[in-house]
Amino acid sequence: MRKAYPWLCWCLLILLTACEANKRTRPDFTDTPTSGSITISADISFKPVIDEQIKVFESNNPGTKINVQYKPESDCVKDLWNDSIRMVISTIALTESEKATLADSMNVVVDQLPIARDAIAVIVNPMSPDSLFDMNEIKSILTGTYSRPLIPVFDGIKTTSTIRYILDSVLRGETLNPAAVAASTSDSVINYVAQTPNAVGFIGVSWIGNPEDSKQRSFLKKVKIAYLKGNNSDEKYILPVQANLYDRKYPMTRDLTYILKETHVGLGNGFASFLRGEIGQLIFKRAYLMPGRRFFIFRPVRLNEDSI
């Protein structure tokens, strides 16, 4: 028994030392799903609706603070590898292999989910004779081969989700019109188109599609939203409204996705739950995006096209 005593003391010492080391290296989490403060990164193309989501979430959960950094999508991609950023909201979608690589590299649990469907709206000057386009005509505007010298205008001097969509899904390797203009923000695109009769703007519909928002109503007095020919061969020219996003009749749609990376169930998980829950989905619906996690009934209505 006496011989075993030193070994017992030695084992206890090792155990206590290991526990103390673990205590020193273990992060002290100060947030929960309904308390604390975190930083997230979001594509600046979706600023209006994300601002509203954060406003309502913080109002419903006093003591929480979501610090959001709005950036071009290319910078949001970099933030996936930034351990101070808990969540990225954009049109990025990781493959299973990419999710596994990120989880292993950052030592986090990665959760990815599409939460809404957005569209790229095409806007023109109110004096423009062109307000009906098919996708071949959109491509010719983007490449500079359209029948009139129209100037494409985009929302950012870096690669936003809108620019990436245009390059990857519309141009597909063809060269962008050298006369294209990169405005600093989406509202700058609207102002440029309002002042330039031959400009054609490309922006997220959440900046321009909500007639119930006073700021967007003021935008709709400056520019008009163009109609695009629907995806079906017999489809009419349509607007980027929710019913046309639901089944992707509108030709330029994209999913808005969050990528959450937390080492514990913290405020990021709480905000993610809110975004996919009933209130968050209703906010997307009111912002005229198509909710991605809830079913809403669409009833036929008479559309006053003169107000669009």
Contact (CB, 8 A) for 128 and 86: no
Fold of 36-117+253-291: D-Maltodextrin-Binding Protein; domain 2 (3.40.190)
Q: How far apart are CA 123 and CA 155, in angstroms?
A: 12
Residue found under tokens 């619906």: 285
131 confidence band (pLDDT: 50, 70, 90): very high
- Tell the CATH superfamily of the 118-250 domain: Periplasmic binding protein-like II (3.40.190.10)
Q: How far apart are CA 279 and CA 273, in angstroms?
A: 10
Contact (CB, 8 A) for 103 and 109: yes
Q: How far apart are CA 221 and CA 224, in angstroms?
A: 8
Q: Chain centroid to CA 166: how far? A: 15
3-state SS, residue 80: coil
Mean pLDDT computed over every residue of the chain: 86
pLDDT surpasses 90 at 49: yes
Predicted local distance difference test score (pLDDT) of residue 27: 55
6 confidence band (pLDDT: 50, 70, 90): low
Ramachandran assignment for 51, one of left (phi > 0), alpha (psi -120 to 50 degrees), beta (any other): alpha
% of the chain at pLDDT higher than 90: 66
Return the number of other C-beta atoms located less than 10 Å from residue 79's C-beta.
Answer: 22
Q: What is the pTM of this model?
A: 0.81
Contact (CB, 8 A) for 166 and 142: yes
3-state SS, residue 18: helix
Contact (CB, 8 A) for 159 and 43: no
In this prediction, residues 238-257 reach a mean pLDDT of 91
Q: Chain centroid to CA 254: how far? A: 9
E strand intervals along 234-299: 237-238, 253-262, 290-291
Give Cβ neighbours of residue 17 (< 8 Å, ≥ 6 apart).
none
Nearest Cα neighbor of 87 from 104, 109, 107, 105 is: 109
Of the ranges 7-21, 42-56, 116-130, which one carries the lowest mean pLDDT score?
Answer: 7-21
Give Cβ neighbours of residue 305 (< 8 Å, ≥ 6 apart).
none
Residues of the chain with CATH 3.40.190.10: 36-117+253-291, 118-250
Each residue's pLDDT tens digit, 134-160: 999 999 999 999 999 999 999 876 678
